[in-house]
Amino acid sequence: MITLTVTTVPVSWSAIAPEIVLLSCACVLLTCAIFLPARLAHPVGAAVAAGAFAAAMVAPIAQWHDAPRTAFDDTLRIDAFGNGARLLIFAAGLLAVVVAWGMPHLFDRAVEYHALLLAAAAGMSLLAVSNSLVIAFIALELFSIALYVLVAIDVDALPGLEGALKYLIVGSVGAAFLLYGSALVYGATGQFEFDLIAQSIRHGDAHGGVLLLGVAMIIVGLGFKANSAPFHMWTPDAYEGAPTPVTAFMSAATKTVALVLAFRVLVAAFGEDSAIWQDAVGALAVASFAVGNLAALRQANVKRMLAYSTIGHTGFLFTAVAVHTQAAARAMFYYLAIYSLMNIGAFALVAIRERELGRPVLIDDFRGYAYRRPLLALSMVVFMLSLAGLPPMGGFIAKITIWSSAVDGGQTYLAIVGVAATLVGLGYYLKIPFALVDRDVPIPESPYRPAFAVTSATVLATAVAVMVLGIIPGPLLDLAQTASASLIGR
């Protein structure tokens, strides 16, 4: 006889407080949207979203120094590692709201934009603390579906629709890999929770074919979300087609959460057998370095160039995953924070320029910009130098810490490839600073539409942060240290 026992899981509200805040705000927005007059849609949406992101930050900050704990029957693990990722995601969300504020012409559906942004962030936030393959998949789908729609939110623009469709199709294949891999791992170990999987592997046969195939497929699924080559091909189309604020948010937040999950699942569930996946992740890093940096050299469209650049940056982040020491986790966190700031900053500038021109922005469109918008141009220089990894910007410290962790962790070849990739990277990042100071450009007849003060100020503040965090990296590195220590010991 089969007895069915239903156990109720104890609910920990504090564990999912950010998700509750974000999702309820999203629901409020969607249900109230129909009652709002059109001219109020954008301000109200932006205000609610900004408020929600700010409120969602409260719990992770309050729990920052708490000891790691599990919740919902071991399916969530609330630690500084996940909370740090949550904070980065919410910060990216806030910045995405600000960037969108600067281009209101794009948004007939401002309410939907902000609601979907909140939903995506909620999914990411849940993913950051998930401790189970099932929860991870659900969270992943939650934010992926929101992003598919966000890419196509400007339904009148063909590139957006095309990008979204490609993202959806290729993304479904990627998600299928993740799901299939999870199923295989469950088949091999009988567990979904990361720590239990590790336990089961420790007692059983770690080299079983089913288990290994499962890990391989999970890595493929994660590689897809992290824009790693050879699973990257959707990236340029989706990034180019999506409205720029969406691109900015995707590039920063998706990257953060994908890397955090990759690090967590590989270390927490399969950490004992790191020798097996270490080289595979390393190989993906090398492929990403090569494809991202080489293809970026040929791009004329700035958003497309930045899309390939983000593939190149995955090389650095996967380097940290391959090394998977505490120092590597710390370096990865610092890298993700700086990367989010500088990438969103760069996309925000693209958004401002897009609005001025009323069409997609080419590198040539920045020619002589320094003589018309000196402060914005200076910010762009900061972002490009930081992305290229030059001192005194944050991007420099980010790369240095990754490299030093790779050398200390016995993965010197990744550091060497990373240096070579950085050299190639100079070839396209520096195009923009050079273009900015080009004097041989006629001054346009009609004056530009002025940028929105909030957006410009945010861009400047971001640039200052990128520089200051490069000169005084100590505090941020300390935070990254706390986050990494909550996941792994030395």
Partner 1 sequence: METLSWVCLFLPLAGVVVLALAGNRIGREPASWLATAIAFASFICGAAVFFSILGEGESARSHVYTLYTWAGAHNVHVLRVPLSIQIDQLSVVEMLVVSGVGALIVMYSIGYMHGDPKQRRFFAYMNLFLFSMLLVVMAGNFVLLLAGWGLVGLSSYLLIGFWHEQEAPVAAAKKAFVMNAIGDVGIAIAIFLMVRDFGTTDYHEVFTRAHDVWPKGSANANWVALLLLAGAVAKSAQIPLHTWLPDAMEGPTPVSALIHAATMVTAGVYLIARCHVLFANAPNVRTLVAVIGVATLLMAGVIALVQTDIKRIIAYSTMSQIGYMFAAVGVADDSAGMFHLLTHAFFKALLFLGAGIVIHALANEQDVRRMGGLSKVMPRTTMLMWVGTIALIGFWPMSKDEILEGALHGGGTAGWIVYVGGLVGAAFTGIYATRLMRLVFYGEMSGYAKEHLHTGHGEAPWTMFLPVAALAAGAVLVGFLSVGFGITNFFGDFLAQSAPTIEATVPQDILTTALAWGLGGAGALYVWRLYDDPARVAAVRSRFQTMATIAEAKFGWDELYYNIGYRPAVWLAVTFDSIGERWIIGGSLWLARTTVATVARATALAQSGIVRQYVTVLAGGAALVAVFFLGKANL
**Candidate residues 96, 295, 329, 337; the one interacting with partner 1 per rule CB under 8 A:** 295
Instruction: Please state the closest distance from residue 207 (CB atom) to partner 1, in A.
Output: 5
Instruction: Supply the minimum distance, in Å, between the C-beta of residue 472 and partner 1.
Output: 7
Q: Which is nearer to partner 1, 183 or 294 (CB)?
A: 294
- What's the token pair of residue 140? 């992943």
- Residue holding tokens 């999950």? 261
How many angstroms separate the CA atoms of 124 and 231, rounded?
20
What number of chain residues touch partner 1 (CB under 8 A)?
48
Among 187, 204, 209, 450, binds partner 1 (CB under 8 A): 209
Nearest residue (CB) to partner 1, 199 versus 326? 326
- DSSP for 261-305, please give it: HHHHIIIIITGGGHHHHHHHHHHHHHHHHHHHHHHHTT--BHHHH
If binding is defined by CB under 8 A, does position 69 make contact with partner 1?
no
Q: How near is the Cβ of 477 to partner 1 at its closest, in Å?
A: 6
Which one of 191, 299, 386, 411 is in contact with partner 1 (CB under 8 A)?
299
Binding mask 407-426 for partner 1 (x = CB under 8 A): -----------------x--
Query: Binder to partner 1 among 98, 127, 142, 170 (CB under 8 A)?
Result: 170
3-state secondary structure of 486: coil
Amino acid at 177: F
- The CA-atom distances, in angstroms, between 159 and each of 67, 69, 109, 112, 462 are 47, 44, 17, 19, 29
Choose the binding region for partner 1 from 88-96, 190-198, 201-209, 349-357 (rule: CB under 8 A).
Answer: 201-209
Segment 266 to 285, residues that bind partner 1, using CB under 8 A: 276-277, 279-280, 283-284
Strand partners, 76: 71, 130
Helices (H), ranges, 57-132? 58-62, 80-101, 110-129
Among 177, 263, 318, 339, binds partner 1 (CB under 8 A): 177
User: Applying CB under 8 A, does 174 fall inside the site for partner 1?
Assistant: yes
* Beta strand extents in 7-71 (DSSP E only): 69-71
**Stretches 13-21, 119-127, 166-174, 381-389: which one binds partner 1 (CB under 8 A)?**
166-174
CA distances from 346 to 8, 202, 203, 231, 400 (A): 47, 46, 49, 24, 22
212 forms part of the interface with partner 1 (CB under 8 A)? yes
Distances (CA, A) of 43 to 46, 63, 98, 355, 452: 5, 31, 11, 18, 14
Q: Could you tell me which of 312, 333, 473, 317 has the C-alpha nearest to residue 391?
A: 473
Using CB under 8 A as the binding rule, whether residue 117 contacts partner 1 is answered as no
Q: How far apart are CA 236 and CA 26, in angstroms?
A: 28
Instruction: Rank residues 148 and 369 by Cβ distance to partner 1 and give the closer one.
Output: 148
**C-beta of 66 vs 478, nearer to partner 1:** 478
- The CB-of-271 to partner 1 minimum distance in angstroms stands at 16
Tokens 């937040």 found at: 253
- Tell me the closest approach of the beta carbon of residue 248 to partner 1, in angstroms: 22
Sort 438 into a burial class: Cβ within 10 Å, 0-12 / 13-18 / 19+.
middle
Does position 477 interact with partner 1 (CB under 8 A)? The reply is yes
* Size (the chain), residues: 490
Give min distance, CB of 481 to partner 1, in A. Answer: 6
CB of 164 to partner 1, least distance (A): 12
Cβ atoms of 348 and 251 closer than 8 Å: no
Rounded Cα–Cα distance for residues 147 and 297 (Å):
27
Cβ distance to partner 1 smaller for residue 99 or 265: 265
Note the residues at the interface with partner 1 (CB under 8 A).
165-166, 169-170, 173-174, 177, 207-209, 212-213, 215-217, 219-220, 223-224, 229-231, 233-234, 236-237, 276-277, 279-280, 283-284, 290-291, 294-295, 297-299, 397, 424, 427, 472-474, 477-478, 481
